[in-house]
């Protein structure tokens, strides 16, 4: 736990409900032990999308489609969302959820390994949401930087690993040490990349918000 549990409970008690379809999908996901973004992260995404007003969104890690649908409801009309998922069982559920929500024309789901899929993407995105395999974030970053527009926002979820990120690698369970070291490397790169301005927040399980700097030529 990164933030005091009583504080999180209090903050979440103030939340208003999502749309009927999102509430249903969230219940189904939790009943099936499928992880979805936490309540506080849901609110944070809504605020960011309201501020940024992106017209093109790339999501890395669809799961059952909850976060893609939440973003579709809070982005401007006409925003197009591309989402990538590699787990076959969840792909079918996500497609069905997009159909239930009437968002098939707005959300494009691409099946496959995110690293390979991103190599084949040619467009530029205003907003990229990273919520896939945590040990792969550092490997995805070069393609993410290529695909993110100047002035665009990168949101990376679950970056503090329930607080384990501050521990020595020897204090972390052996099976989690590779992810631990790669996430530390990823966060360092986000904070020191010459083309990014990044803030790391103890929200949910940790979120990093990065903005790609505009070139000097474009800034004039």
pLDDT tens, the chain, 220 aa long: 577 889 999 999 999 999 999 999 999 999 999 999 999 999 999 999 999 999 999 999 999 999 999 999 999 999 999 999 999 999 999 999 999 999 999 999 999 999 999 999 988 999 999 999 999 999 999 999 999 999 999 999 999 876 666 677 656 677 667 778 898 999 999 999 999 999 999 998 899 999 999 886 655 4
Q: Rounded to a whole number, what is the largest CA-CA distance in the chain? A: 52
Backbone φ and ψ of 56, nearest 5°:
-145, 125
The residues near 80 (Cβ < 8 Å, ≥ 6 apart) are 55, 56, 57, 106, 108
Rounded CA-CA distance 58/70 in Å is 13
If we measure between CA atoms, which residue out of 42, 101, 34 comes closest to residue 62? Answer: 34
pLDDT reported for residue 22: 98
Rounded CA-CA distance 137/149 in Å is 18
pLDDT reported for residue 178: 77
Angle between helices 39-52 and 66-74 (to 10 degrees): 40
Residues forming a β-bridge with 157 = 207
Radius of gyration of the chain (CA): 17
pLDDT reported for residue 177: 74
The residues near 220 (Cβ < 8 Å, ≥ 6 apart) are none
Alpha helices in the chain (DSSP H): 5-13, 20-31, 39-52, 66-74, 88-101, 114-120, 137-147, 177-192, 216-219
The SS3 assignment for 190 reads helix
| Number of other residues whose CB lies within 10 A of the CB of residue 155 | 20
pLDDT reported for residue 4: 83
Question: Residue 109 carries which DSSP code?
Answer: E
* H or E element that contains 155: strand 148-157
């Amino acid at each position: 736990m990164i933030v005091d549990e009583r504080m999180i409970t209090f903050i979440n008690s103030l939340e208003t409900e999502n749309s009927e379809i999102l509430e249903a999908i969230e219940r189904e996901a939790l009943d099936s032990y499928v992880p979805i973004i936490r309540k506080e992260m849901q609110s944070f995404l809504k605020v960011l999308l309201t501020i940024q007003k992106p017209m093109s969104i790339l999501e890395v890690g669809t799961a059952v489609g909850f976060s893609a649908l939440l973003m579709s409801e809070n982005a401007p009309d006409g925003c197009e969302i591309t989402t990538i998922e590699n787990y076959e069982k969840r792909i079918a559920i996500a497609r069905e959820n997009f159909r239930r929500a009437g968002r098939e024309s707005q959300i494009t789901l691409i099946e496959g390994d995110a690293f390979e899929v991103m190599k084949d993407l040619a467009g530029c995105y205003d907003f990229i949401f990273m919520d896939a395999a945590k040990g792969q974030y550092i490997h995805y970053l070069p393609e993410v930087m290529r695909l993110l527009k100047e002035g665009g926002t990168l949101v990376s979820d679950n970056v503090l690993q329930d607080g384990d990120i501050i521990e020595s690698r020897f204090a972390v369970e052996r099976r989690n040490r590779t992810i631990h070291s790669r996430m530390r490397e990823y966060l360092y790169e986000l904070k020191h990349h010459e083309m990014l301005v990044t803030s790391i927040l103890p929200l949910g399980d940790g979120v990093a918000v990065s903005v790609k700097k505009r070139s000097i030529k474009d800034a004039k």
